[in-house]
Amino acid sequence: MQKILLHPSGKEVECKPGDTVLAALENSGYALPNNCRAGACGECKVKVVSGQFDQGMVLDMALSQEDRREGYGLMCMAKPISEELVIEWGTDDAKPKLFPPRENQRYIITEITQCTPRIKQLRLRPLAAPMRFWPGQYVTLGDPRAGAPERCYSIANAPRPDGELILQVTQVEDGKTSNWVHSQLEVGSMVKLNGPYGTFIGDPAMETPVLCLAAGSGLAPILSLAEAALRRNYRKPVTLMFSARTEADLYELGSMKYWEAKHRNFNYRPTLTEEQKEGYLHGIIPDVLPEQFKDLSEHSIFISGSPAFVNACMEAVKKLGATDEMIHTEGYFDQAQPQTAPASHLVS
């Protein structure tokens, strides 16, 4: 079995005989940008630092002769022929490229779960090609004909071969779309999604301890990011702190326990703001954080929730040494508020 090394992180991916580099990366949880998967579009072009590979048949418009001389290859067709192949991935010239969003993608709801009294979870399967997205991105869902304008919801899972998506929808009192989801959608319903959108994503070459802070359905993109990282055997500590009002507002406890049991570097720390229960932290995250961490200067921070929650957490992590370039945020606005920030989106 051959090895693919990602430079400069040094991460290692196994490549089965006959597999392309793209297939090996995807099997290990890395979502390398791609489109045609046939050597014609050039989206998966990556520089090869060392090692030999069979490029296969590709179009010159996708991989020029100059590209080849400079060491680039198309990973959708490239198959390693040396024991070790080192590719450049995660550097400034190989950062994640956003996938072009597509409109009116048809999905069937295969399962609906009542996570909390206010949050429903939808499992959806595509009727056509799976949506290509980065963990942490979101889609729009709605049906204007039913009086449910399109609203934005984060994908709560990492990319999967079958294209399944998980959305978590909080019911808002005057939210037309969330009430449509909660009262009218059922298993077997067909819905249309647009996407993916958003830049709340991590660097594939990130190699630091990770701290994720979430409240309410802001947990969704955090779940997607954490699942993707753990699937690719991320070794640094990953801590997820989730803020809920009461124990009844906690959800995904089974997944959290599973991740803690399977991945020794994963730690789940829920905190309750309106009740005290044994086994849980108590208080809002900005107040609890200094008791859990003394120095966050080396951490990558991901924060998702309401704008007030995000702002308060940003201030708290900066007081503990977190730097601006290591802080990633996603703010959720209610229906009555305008979408004023590109990194934020509406849920209602």
pLDDT above 70 for 346: no
The model's pLDDT over 132-150, given as tens digits with 9 standing for 90+, comes to 898 999 999 999 999 999 9
- The confidence band for 192, taking pLDDT boundaries of 50, 70 and 90, is very high
79-80 vs 327-333, strand pairing mode? unpaired
The whole-number pLDDT of residue 338 equals: 31
pLDDT > 70: percent of the chain? 92
The whole-number pLDDT of residue 93 equals: 64
Comparing 337 with 265, the larger pLDDT belongs to 265
- Do the Cβ atoms of 244 and 180 come closer than 8 Å? no
Tokens, residue 260: 């803690």
DSSP string, 140-176: EEEEGGGTEEEEEEEB-S---TT--EEEEEE--TT-H
Comparing 15 with 97, the larger pLDDT belongs to 15
Residue among 90, 86, 36, 85 nearest 63 (CA): 36
Comparing 234 with 321, the larger pLDDT belongs to 321
**Alpha-carbon distance 131 to 109, whole Å?**
15
- The confidence band for 268, taking pLDDT boundaries of 50, 70 and 90, is very high
- Do the Cβ atoms of 316 and 289 come closer than 8 Å? yes
Q: Residue 240's beta-bridge partner residues?
A: 212, 268
Q: Within 13 A of 15's CA, how many CA atoms are on the CB side?
A: 27
327-333 vs 300-305, strand pairing mode? parallel
- Do the Cβ atoms of 48 and 86 come closer than 8 Å? yes
- What is the three-class DSSP state of 71? coil
Angle between helices 253-262 and 219-231 (to 10 degrees): 20
Sheet holding 84-88, edge to edge: 11-15, 2-7, 84-88, 45-50, 72-74
**Across 333-348, average pLDDT:** 38
The whole-number pLDDT of residue 75 equals: 95
- The confidence band for 345, taking pLDDT boundaries of 50, 70 and 90, is very low
Comparing 202 with 323, the larger pLDDT belongs to 323
Average pLDDT, the chain: 89
DSSP string, 298-340: T-EEEEEE-HHHHHHHHHHHHHTT--GGGEEEEEEE-TTS---
- Do the Cβ atoms of 55 and 77 come closer than 8 Å? yes
Region for residue 188 given its phi and psi (left: phi exceeds 0; alpha: psi -120 to 50; beta: otherwise): left
Most confident of 41-45, 305-309, 337-341: 305-309
The model's pLDDT over 271-286, given as tens digits with 9 standing for 90+, comes to 999 999 999 999 999 9
pLDDT above 50 for 80: yes
Q: What is the pTM of this model?
A: 0.77
- Altogether, the residues listed in the chain come to a count of 348
Residue 104, burial from CB neighbour count under 10 angstroms (0-12, 13-18, 19+): exposed
pLDDT above 60 for 90: yes
**Alpha-carbon distance 93 to 91, whole Å?**
6
Q: CA geometry: angle at 335 spanning 332 and 336, to 5°?
A: 115
Tokens 């704008």 map to which residue?
A: 307
Q: Within 13 A of 103's CA, how many CA atoms are on the CB side?
A: 2
Q: Which residues lie closer than 8 Å to 31 by C-beta, 6 or more apart? A: 96, 132, 133, 134, 135, 159, 228
**Across 56-78, average pLDDT:** 93
The model's pLDDT over 97-133, given as tens digits with 9 standing for 90+, comes to 778 889 999 999 999 999 999 999 999 999 999 998 9
**Alpha-carbon distance 335 to 348, whole Å?**
5
Residue 54, burial from CB neighbour count under 10 angstroms (0-12, 13-18, 19+): exposed
pLDDT above 80 for 167: yes
The whole-number pLDDT of residue 347 equals: 43
**Alpha-carbon separation of residue 188 from 76, 107, 146, 197, 321 (angstroms):** 34, 9, 17, 25, 49
The whole-number pLDDT of residue 204 equals: 65
Q: Which residues lie closer than 8 Å to 180 by C-beta, 6 or more apart? A: 142, 143, 146, 147, 148
